Amino acid sequence: MPNVKCLLWITCSLGVAVEVLFQLLPWALGLISRVDVLLTRTLFWYFGHALVYFWLLPAYMAWYVIVPKIIGAKIFSDSLARLSFILFLLFSFPVGLHHQLTEPGIDGFWKFIQVTLTFFVIIPSLMTAFSLFATFELRGRELGAKGVLGWFKKLPWGDSRFLLPFIGMVAFIPGGAGGIVNASHQMNQLVHNTIWVTGHFHLTVATAVVLTFFGVAFWLIPHLTGRVLTPVLNKMGIYVGVLWAIGMAIMSGSMHIAGLLGAPRRSDYSEYGGAQQAIDWIPYSIAQAVGGTILFVAIILITYMVIQLAFFAPKGHEEFPVAEAAPGAQKTPAILENFKLWGVIVAALIIFAYTMPIIEILRNSPLGTTGFTPW
C-alpha cells in the first residue's frame, strides 16, 4: 500500500512539475510573455485528480489494516486489498479531463474516454465496501450475532478509534455518488463550478478522510508519546465524531442543495446585484454557517484531545494496531506485487489518454494570457 502511494505521488507530480518549470515559473520571472492556458490546466488536472487520492489512500490503508485489528477481526482478503490499491493506481491518472468537460479546445472523444476510465475508479471503492463490511459481519458472527443484521450490534460503537473511521466510511457513500455526478458529462453541466462541488469534497475529504485521521490519531499520538487513551478522552472522541457528522450533514447538505439552485463555487460578488436567484441561496448559506459552527466546536474538542494525548494523558503503552490476514486464506498472487508490470501499464494508460489531447492542444491552442497583478 505505501508503495502504491509513493508511485501515485511521484507520477502525478510530473504534470504539475512540467507546468511550473516550463510555463508558470518562466512566466512569473518575465522570461516568457504568455502561457498556454489550456495546456497548463490540462497538466494541472492530470496532477489534481490523483492528488485527492494522496489523502484518500491513507484512509483506505487504515480501513483495511487498522480498523479490523481494533475490532478484533482479521483482514477479510489480503489479495482484495492489494488489488483495490492497484486499481486506484491504474485509474488515478488517465481521468483528469473529466474536470475539464466544459472547456473548449479538447476533443469530446477524449473527454468521453477519460470519463469512461473515471468510472473504473468506482470498482475499487465497491471492492473496499464489500471487504470492510464482510470483515464487520464475520467479526459479529464470531461474537455470536444472529439474524441478518445482528452482527451490526456487535461492533464496538463505544470505541472512538472505530466509530470515527466508520462514520467516515458511511459519509464516503454519498460522497462517491456525488463524484459520479461530477464526472458525468450531462449531470456535470448542472453542478459544474457550483458550491455542490465544495459540498462533495466536504464529504469525501473533510469527512471520510478527516474522521479516519482523527480515529488514527486517538491511538497513534499516545503510541508515539508513551501515553494512553483514557475513557474520558475516548468519550470525548465519540462526541467529536457525532458533532462532526451532524455539522457536516447540515453544511455539506446545504451546499449540495444551493449548488443545484445555481449558487457558484466562488465569486467576486456577495450581493449579485440583488438578483432574486441569489436571495434564494441565503437560507442555505445560513445553514452552512450553522453546520460550520458545530464543526468548529468539534475542532476545539479534537484540539484539546490532541494536546492531552501528546502531553498530559497518563503514561502507558498504546498498541500500534496492524491486522493480520485470516487464517487459511489463499496466498496473495505474486503478480499483485509486481510493480514493474503495473508501472508499465500505468505509463501505457497515461500515454493513451493524453498523447492526442496534448498534441491537439499544442497544435490548436495559441499562447494565451499575459502577466497580470492579482491584487
Q: What pLDDT digit, counting tens, does each position of 207-260 carry?
A: 999 999 999 999 999 999 999 999 999 999 999 999 999 999 999 999 999 999
pLDDT of res. 110? 95
Interval 288-293 mean pLDDT:
98
- 233 & 374 share domain: no
Active site residue 200: yes
pLDDT of res. 334? 92
CATH number of domain containing 190: 1.20.210.10
Q: Given 133, 152, 265, 272, which residue is catalytic? A: 265
Active site residue 265: yes
- 194 & 303 share domain: yes
- 97 & 164 share domain: no
Please indicate, yes or no, if residue 273 is contained in any of the structural domains: yes
- 166 & 277 share domain: yes
pLDDT of res. 3? 86
Give exposure, 38-51, as e/b (b: 16+ Cβ within 10 Å): bbbbbbbbbbebbb
Whether 94 contacts 352, CB under 8 Å:
yes
Please indicate, yes or no, if residue 148 is contained in any of the structural domains: no
Active site residue 99: no
Number of domains in the chain: 2
Q: Given 49, 82, 99, 161, which residue is catalytic? A: 49
Please indicate, yes or no, if residue 151 is contained in any of the structural domains: no
- 242 & 305 share domain: yes
**Can you give the C-alpha Rg of the chain in angstroms?**
23
Active site residue 266: yes
Please indicate, yes or no, if residue 150 is contained in any of the structural domains: no
pLDDT of res. 332? 87
* Entry pTM: 0.93
**Which of the listed ranges 8-12, 28-32, 97-101, 165-169 does the model predict with the highest average pLDDT?**
165-169
In terms of Cβ atoms closer than 10 Å to its own Cβ (0-12, 13-18, 19+), residue 65 is middle
Range of the domain at 65: 1-143+338-375
- 111 & 19 share domain: yes
Question: For the packed helices 195-203 and 231-260, what is the interaxial angle rounded to 10 degrees?
Answer: 160
- 136 & 183 share domain: no
Q: What is the DSSP letter of 270?
A: S
Please indicate, yes or no, if residue 318 is contained in any of the structural domains: yes
Q: Given 46, 47, 53, 214, which residue is catalytic? A: 53
Please indicate, yes or no, if residue 195 is contained in any of the structural domains: yes
Q: How confident is the model at residue 326 (pLDDT cuts 50, 70, 90)?
A: confident
How many CA atoms, within 13 angstroms, populate the side-chain half-sphere of residue 141? 9
pLDDT of res. 369? 67
Closest CA to 170 of 199, 211, 140: 211
Q: What is the mean pLDDT of the chain?
A: 93
Give exposure, 292-325, as e/b (b: 16+ Cβ within 10 Å): eebbeebeebbeebeebbeeebeeeebeebebeb
- 221 & 126 share domain: no
pLDDT of res. 372? 66
Q: Given 41, 82, 99, 200, which residue is catalytic? A: 200
Please indicate, yes or no, if residue 102 is contained in any of the structural domains: yes
- 222 & 209 share domain: yes
- 39 & 167 share domain: no
Please indicate, yes or no, if residue 212 is contained in any of the structural domains: yes
* SS3 call for 370: strand
The residues, ordered by sequence, that sit 6+ positions from 119 with a Cβ below 8 Å of its Cβ are: 180, 183
- Cα separation of 358 and 231, whole Å? 57
Q: Given 202, 214, 218, 354, which residue is catalytic? A: 202
Q: Given 76, 201, 214, 284, which residue is catalytic? A: 201
- 43 & 62 share domain: yes
Give the residue with greater pLDDT, 327 vs 177: 177
In terms of Cβ atoms closer than 10 Å to its own Cβ (0-12, 13-18, 19+), residue 342 is buried
pLDDT of res. 330? 80
- Cα separation of 252 and 273, whole Å? 26
pLDDT of res. 16? 95
Active site residue 49: yes
- 259 & 374 share domain: no
For the residues of 175-219, what is the DSSP string, one character each? HHHHHHHHHSHHHHHHHTTBHHHHHHHHHIIIIIIHHHHHHHHHH
Cα angle vertex 322, ends 317, 328, to 5°?
Answer: 135
